[in-house]
């Protein structure tokens, strides 16, 4: 990689972070626009039963999550030898095509197909862009590089998602998603202009990346992520109808609720990174307890405006607090396969997204009410906590065995 000036370096990092911003928009904007999407794409079902139609529109979230789950490890394996800049540019082009197709497709089924195509690039982008950012920063800065890219996503939840939600409510959800496609197009041009060429990791190959799946610990930690964080998505996926139908606030309040949740996410990831570096085990346990308490608080108090906003902040903070620790666990369980480790983490998070949206939607469609999604989130978090305890216990035993094997007899 050529030597970069300070200005070029920060321009490149901002370009990569802008991609994370776009990912936050495309993934989370649907959650605030489900009523509008249901009204437009499923008008007959909406006329018969608005809750049923909103629950069906929740497949916009589930199908995106499925695309991430399929695409992240597949692309990570197939592009192991690809130069990272070229890979990032290709992924951004896929985002532009898929998001534009989603915005322009005439039927619900074709919109879902466009969402699936766009989602294929999601996990691989976080992995490849994080590696690029770390390379630009120099040796010993992998964590900072990943944080810069993920920082774009948290900024999207704080600022971009509320604005896109407001745009979609006023001008239509299709205009909102065309705006998201424009963000990806701008990111592609910015990366093309500022990010230097970076070679693939030496010795990289599909076989080397797929070695990560040989470790049972990788599968267990992935399950912890998939089940444990799905409680957040049961709350987040249906925050719009909770705000309007349960709390009784106007649709114009939804972007503000999402902004407060985004603020919580920004605070959570900042403190979560520090906590994970200091004590990984304690961070995992504290994160799950915090997510359990915040989801319960939201379920009990969201009918009140103050409870809605406070609960949204706490759920957002707890959900992102735990992510750095879980990602660190997963990457540590797959040494030498950073791209695959990051991809598996993204796949697991989006399995959680799909589980949360699907189970929450099923509860609403069954007539249990919009708040049933929050209570399901509480139950899923309990399961995640139990799995995390099992994972940490196994990890402790493995570390003890490794120490015994390396101990030198006196």
In the chain, where are the structural domains located? 6-406
At 121, is the secondary structure helix, strand, or coil? coil
Between 167 and 6, name the one with better pLDDT: 167
Mean pLDDT over residues 84-90, rounded? 89
| Top-confidence residue, 243 or 201 | 243
The string of pLDDT tens digits covering residues 329-378 is 776 666 666 667 677 777 788 788 778 888 888 888 888 888 988 899 99
Please give the mean pLDDT across all residues of the chain.
84
Q: Does residue 134 contact residue 338 with C-beta atoms inside 8 Å?
A: no
Residue 16 has pLDDT above 70, yes or no: yes
CATH number of 6-406: 1.20.1250.20
For 14-50, give the DSSP string. HHHHHHHHHHHHHHHHHHHSHHHHHHHH-HHHHHH-H
- The proportion of the chain whose per-residue pLDDT surpasses 70, expressed as a percent, equals 87
Q: What is the mean pLDDT of residues 386-401?
A: 79
- Render pLDDT for 286-332 as a digit per residue (tens, 0 to 9): 999 999 999 999 999 999 999 999 999 999 999 888 887 787 777 66
96-101 long-range Cβ contacts below 8 angstroms, 24+ apart: 96/181, 96/184, 96/185, 96/188, 99/26, 99/177, 99/180, 99/181, 99/184, 100/178, 100/181
- 101 in Cβ contact with 113 (< 8 Å): yes
The helix or strand, by DSSP H or E, that contains position 376, with its residue range, turns out to be: helix 372-406
Confidence of residue 410 (pLDDT cuts 50, 70, 90): very low
As a dihedral over the C-alpha atoms of residue 388, residue 394, residue 396, residue 400, rounded to 10 degrees, the angle is 180
Q: How far apart are alpha carbons 296 and 311 in whole angstroms?
A: 9
From 355, 354, 357, 351, select the one nearest 58 (Cα to Cα): 357
Query: Is 331:202 a contact under the CB 8 Å cutoff?
Result: no
Q: Report residue 201's pLDDT band, with 50, 70 and 90 as the boundaries.
A: low
pLDDT of residue 336: 61
Dist. CA 187–CA 192, nearest whole Å? 8
CA distance 121 to 246: 36
**To 10 degrees, what angle do helices 50-57 and 338-365 make?**
170
Query: What b/e string do you get for 315-332 counting C-beta neighbours within 10 Å, with b at 16 or more?
Result: bbbbbbbbbbbbbbbbbe
Q: Report d(CA 62, CA 358) in Å as an integer.
A: 7
Whole-angstrom distance, CA of residue 60 vs CA of residue 31? 9
Higher pLDDT, 55 or 333: 55
- Greatest mean pLDDT among 111-115, 161-165, 224-228, 252-256 lies in 111-115
Contact 295, 381 (CB under 8 A): yes
The two tokens of residue 184 are 């990806």
Q: According to DSSP H, which parts of 138-279 are helical?
A: 142-155, 161-171, 173-194, 206-210, 216-228, 230-236, 239-241, 254-278
Q: What is the pLDDT of residue 4?
A: 73
Q: Does pLDDT of 385 surpass 50? A: yes
Contacts of residue 6, Cβ cutoff 8 Å, sequence gap at least 6:
none
Rounded Cα–Cα distance for residues 89 and 121 (Å)? 11
């Amino acid at each position: 990689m050529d030597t970069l000036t300070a200005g070029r370096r920060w321009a490149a990092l901002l370009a990569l972070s802008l991609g994370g911003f776009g990912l936050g928009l495309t993934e989370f904007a649907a959650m605030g626009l489900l009523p509008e999407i249901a009204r437009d794409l499923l008008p007959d079902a909406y006329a018969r039963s608005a809750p049923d139609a909103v629950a069906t529109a929740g497949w916009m979230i589930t199908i995106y999550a499925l695309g991430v789950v399929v695409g992240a490890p597949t692309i990570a394996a197939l592009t192991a030898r690809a130069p990272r800049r070229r890979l990032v540019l290709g992924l951004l082009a896929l985002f532009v095509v898929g998001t534009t197709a989603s915005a322009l497709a005439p039927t619900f089924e074709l919109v879902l197909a466009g969402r699936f195509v766009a989602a294929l690039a999601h996990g691989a982008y976080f992995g490849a862009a994080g590696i690029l950012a770390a390379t630009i920063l120099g040796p010993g800065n992998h964590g900072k590089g990943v944080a810069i890219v993920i920082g774009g996503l948290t900024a999207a939840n704080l600022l971009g998602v509320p604005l896109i939600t407001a745009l979609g409510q006023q001008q239509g959800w299709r205009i909102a998603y065309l705006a998201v496609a424009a963000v990806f197009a701008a990111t592609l041009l910015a990366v093309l202009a500022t990010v230097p060429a970076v070679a693939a990791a030496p010795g990289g190959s599909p076989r080397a990346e797929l070695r990560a799946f040989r470790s049972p610990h990788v599968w267990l930690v992935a399950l912890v992520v998939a089940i444990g964080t799905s409680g957040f998505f049961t709350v987040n996926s249906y925050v719009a109808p909770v705000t309007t139908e349960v709390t009784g606030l106007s649709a114009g309040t939804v972007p503000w609720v999402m902004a407060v949740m985004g603020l919580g996410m920004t605070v959570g990831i900042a403190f979560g990174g520090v906590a994970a570096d200091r004590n990984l085990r304690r961070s995992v346990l504290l994160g799950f307890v915090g997510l359990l308490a915040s989801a319960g608080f939201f379920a009990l108090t969201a009918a009140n405006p103050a409870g809605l906003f406070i609960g949204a902040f706490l759920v957002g903070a707890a959900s992102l607090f735990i992510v750095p620790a879980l990602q660190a666990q997963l990457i540590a369980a797959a040494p030498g396969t950073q791209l695959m480790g990051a991809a598996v983490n993204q796949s697991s998070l989006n399995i959680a997204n799909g589980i949360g949206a699907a189970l929450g939607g099923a509860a609403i469609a069954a007539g249990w009410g919009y708040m049933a999604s929050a209570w399901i989130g509480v139950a899923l978090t309990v399961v995640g906590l139990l799995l995390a305890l099992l994972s940490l216990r196994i990890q402790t035993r493995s570390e003890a065995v490794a120490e015994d094997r390396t101990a030198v007899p006196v």
